[in-house]
Amino acid sequence: MNMRKCASVVEQREQIIASACAALAKDLRKVDPSTYVLFFHTTNMPDVFEWINDTVDRHFPSGAMAFACTGDCLTAWGEPPVSAIDVEFEVPELTAFFRLYFAAKGAAVELHHIAFNDPSDDPSSNTQRLANCLEAARMEC
């Protein structure tokens, strides 16, 4: 697979994950960015940790999605803040690690790693498996 096609596959997967996490990102925006700054730089705020975990669990009740206990809040003079949490998604078919970025307007995903159990030789088939697994994880109770 050439590099351009590989990048396209990664971008598709990031968009699929971002779409599946859109409602989660919306709820994560309920916390003021300054709280995320304090949380990620001091890590001494158990209430924020619990709130993030509970929010992830509420959107993915299957338990397949988990807050990976790290993240960041990017702030710069004259720029709106961007908060991010690291997330682990694990189901029998695959494991994915990614960073969910969320700001006042929108969300995005940076996929760090994905591994498929018994992967197909066709990347689009694996991408569809990811989409199906994310949808199933959001629906399970």
Which pTM was predicted?
Answer: 0.91
User: What is the pLDDT at residue 141?
Assistant: 42
Predicted confidence band of residue 44 (pLDDT cuts 50, 70, 90): confident
Higher pLDDT: 2 or 133? It is 133
Structural domain span for residue 73? 3-139
Nearest one of 79, 92, 109 to 19, comparing CA atoms: 109
Quote the number of domains for the chain. 1
Residues 71-95 have a mean pLDDT of: 94
Cβ-count burial of 13 within 10 angstroms (0-12 exposed, 13-18 middle, 19+ buried)?
buried
| Mean pLDDT (the chain, rounded) | 92
